[in-house]
Amino acid sequence: MSERIVLRALDGSNPLAFLAAVGTLRLLTMRAGRNVRMRWERRDAWHPVLTGVGGSTEELSELVRSAVSVPVERFGRLGKDITVAPEVFGAFAGECEDGLNRKERQAADFAVAFGSELCTQPRDERRIQYTDLCFMTGSGHQHFLGTMEVLKKSVTAGHVWDALFGEWRREKGNSMRWDPQDAAEYALQWGDPSLDGASAVWGANLLAVEGLPVFGAYAGRSGRSLRLETTGFRKRDGADWPEFSWPIWETWAGLDVVRSLVGLADLGEERPKRGELQEMGIGEVYRAARVRIGKGANFKVSFRPAVAV
């Protein structure tokens, strides 16, 4: 077994940190090969540990930053958000599937994670249903694809180091809204949180974006209509919003195995079968509700803090 590197700044109980860990594994697998493995170890919190890649933390951060793949230049047809007509999304997905080169494959991976032209909004067939990991649709001038583009241009290797090994310093703007700290609820604060504007750990947000292709979206049946399902999400009967459940695995796993683990149906059970999950090397399961905060046109979507289930 090669050198072990602990990503000490990533806490597995935070959905943003978990997505960033998966994104890091994906980027390193693409750049360093399929011998890269990840597991989680519990210290003060659950932290991911890497093997199959060496070097200092600075060298690893440089390698991860150089591997960033999100093909924002291919998203032009969609604009700044993925709230588009089914024919627009279908044409985009078709373009991404054309050819076999590396960049087009990456675009196709992201297209699968965004949505499907087969599933339209229940009350508006002019718009597709989009991934449950899309928390921004233009409200409050926050844009799903637009933020990805800015992150790719702005994030440095230093931002990546801070995200993986540092103190998680927040900077103005560029939030994908996957950190529960983004849930600025008026009733829980002394002042008006909207006056401060959005802030984010830029590196963690870009790495989490790189994890999106692991959480594909697909068409499922809901009565007589099709409903978009997102890997890792479930909606309880009577609940207004879906919940995101994710595993913390204690055995070494490569990217392909991780794709299987995050898609396990047992994770979405009201009470996951701990014994069966432990036999697969899963030591913990976390769950966070996806909620809508605020009213009118300026609502925000965020994760609530996760709980172990």
- The pLDDT, as a whole number, for residue 187 is 44
Task: Number of helices (H) and strands (E) in the chain: give both, helices first.
Answer: 9, 14
Task: Give residue 266's region: left, alpha or beta (phi > 0; psi -120 to 50).
Answer: alpha
The ranges of the chain with pLDDT < 50 are: 1, 185-191
Runs of H (alpha helix) within 166-301: 202-211, 255-262, 274-279
For residues 211 and 132, what is the distance between their CA atoms, to the nearest angstrom? 14
pLDDT for 219 equals 92
What is the model's pLDDT at position 140? 79
pLDDT value of residue 1: 44
Residue with tokens 């172990």: 308
pLDDT at 105: 81
The pLDDT score that the predictor gives to residue 90 is 95
Q: Which helix (H) or strand (E) segment is 125 a member of?
A: strand 124-130
| Other CB atoms within 10 Å distance of the CB of residue 14 | 24
pLDDT at res. 188 = 47
Domain ranges for the chain: 5-71+136-215+231-308
- DSSP H or E stretch at residue 107: helix 102-114
- pLDDT, residue 103, reads 55
The pLDDT tens digits of the residues spanning 3-18 come to 899 999 999 999 999 9
Between β-strands 217-222 and 199-200, what pairing exists: parallel, antiparallel or unpaired? unpaired
Q: Give residue 35's pLDDT.
A: 94
Q: Strand 225-230 relative to strand 243-249: parallel, antiparallel, unpaired?
A: unpaired
Show the tokens assigned to 4.
């072990």
In the prediction, which pLDDT does 55 show?
93
